Copies of this chain bind each other. A is one copy, B any other.
Amino acid sequence: MARGRISRLSVRDIRFPTSLGGHGSDAMHTDPDYSAAYVILETDAEDGLKGYGITFTLGRGTEVVVCAVNALAHHVLNRDLGDIVGDFRGFYRQLTSDGQLRWIGPEKGVVHLATAAILNAVWDLWAKQEGKDPRRLLSCIDFRYITDVLTEEEAHEILQRGQVGKREREEQMLTEGYPAYTTSCAWLGYPDATLQQLCSEALKDGWTRFKVKVGADLQDDIRRCQLIRNMIGPEKTLMMDANQRWDVPEAVEWMARLAEFRPLWIEEPTSPDDILGHAAISKALAPLGIGVATGEQCHNRVIFKQLLQAKALQFLQIDSCRLGSINENLAVLLMAKKFDVPVCPHAGGVGLCELVQHLIIFDFISVSASLKDRMCEYVDHLHEHFKYPVRIKKASYMPPKDAGYSTEMKEESVKKHQYPDGEVWKKLLAAPGD
């Protein structure tokens, strides 16, 4: 039984000045300050538990998401948590279908990011209060706009089949963890020396799967990919990520030039909205043995539905903060299972690893039941700001042990990084030249 009435929603603008070191840089986002709109829900229950939720942003614009969270707050305040999760599908639809607010979405961009932050906090709070019944999960999903591909009955059957061998998979996760790959070595803004050093350290730490950012300059890409492939050797796995830099024909030509480095996938070759474009690229690159991966900027389940229908991707990358929290990600995991496409979540950012580990381990235990062609992104920074950071062992995510959705930040970190009046930003904004 969920307890308490939501008595307070607060939201804060938290930014980390990651652009100073080129961390997170790619062909389209050259100077990201990894940031978050950070939502805290409080109830009047005596347990004193709070729900923490975030959505990830890149610095400027976080204040816009904060504004949208406040615009949605009236749907949450003074509601009983029991009523919210008792009709979670209805609550989800209330947030996403507000007759006035939906115009500025719908279910996309700023309002959907704000929705995710709020829902992530609801899940955190609920999960701290009680364990989850997988069957009940279905009642959290809004099937609107996807019934032509997945009905509630089919989803139920998938989850039923997921019960077989579940205990063994749980055991496997507890001992081995979920396989990960690293994006930490090869941000676009890193000089070759940094790249080499980080790559060599990662190899020592047991990493076997590496992602490199590409797309800004072909000669640079060739040099960097050569360098990494040489360092990791022919057996280990290399992925490439263009962060939407190309048009469709350009993506095909460019990747033909990088094929010699044998990437497993090219990620975000073009606009995240271009389903038919991704399908054309997939078709063209299949003979080269290169798959297409996308998802971190796919804004809702309707886009994922079509990517699957059109055979537009070979690796599906869910995001814990862009889609409408667990509710919408569940729908996507189930559709991916139906189409037999492996899910390899987007992570990194601020808190994305903390969040998405829950989703992908659930996917393995209860939905896909497979690790074939599957791995979860990992980026080694900003975890120190979280109260329950991820644990990586032998390049694998070890299952989280604390109740909740792992998104509570340390109060000290929040205070220092609050924008614009935290200590870190006060200093930076006062610096000459800014």
Distance to closest chain B CB from A298 (angstroms) = 10
Assess the B33–A100 pair: CB atoms within 8 A: yes
Cβ of A60 within 8 Å of any chain B Cβ, yes or no, is yes
Interfacial residues, chain A to chain B (CB-CB below 8 A) = 28-33, 56-61, 63-65, 67-68, 71, 97-113, 143-148, 244, 247-250, 270-277, 280, 297, 299-300, 302-303, 305-306, 309-310
Chain B positions within 8 Å of A300 at CB level: 273
Closest 8 CB pairs of A and B: A109-B109, A110-B110, A60-B100, A59-B100, A148-B248, A58-B103, A67-B67, A273-B302
Q: How far is the CA of A302 from the CA of B247 in the complex (A)?
A: 11
Cα distance A310–B310 in the bound complex, in angstroms: 11
Contacts of A247 in B (CB 8 A): 143-148
Q: What is the predominant secondary structure among interface residues of chain A facing chain B? A: loop
Complex CA distance for A60 and B152, rounded to whole angstroms? 32
Partner among B67, B109, B302 whose Cβ is within 8 Å of the Cβ of A63: B67
Whether B71 pairs with A104 at a CB distance below 8 angstroms is no
Query: Distance in Å from the Cβ of A54 to the closest Cβ of chain B?
Result: 14
Which B residues touch A71, using CB under 8 A?
Answer: 60-61, 63-64
Q: Please give the distance in Å from A94's CB to the nearest CB on chain B.
A: 13
Q: How far is the CA of A98 from the CA of B56 in the complex (A)?
A: 16
- A247-B147, A274-B306 known; A109-B99 Cβ under 8 A: no
Contact of A110 among B59, B104, B274 (CB under 8 A): B104
In the complex, besides A61-B68, A144-B247, A274-B305, 4 extra interface pairs with C-beta distance below 8 angstroms are A33-B100, A109-B299, A148-B280, A277-B306
Instruction: Give the contacting residue for A58; candidates B29, B67, B100, B277; CB below 8 A.
Output: B100
Q: CB-CB < 8 A to A302: which residues of B? A: 271, 273-274, 277
Minimum CB distance partner of A270 in chain B = B145
Is B60 within 8 A of A101, CB to CB?
yes
A17–B104 alpha-carbon span in the complex (Å): 18
A187 to nearest B CB, angstroms?
13
Q: Looking at the assembled complex, report how far the CB atom of A37 sits from the nearest CB atom of chain B, in whole angstroms.
A: 10
Known: A105-B109, A110-B104, A270-B145. A64 touches B68 (CB 8 A): yes
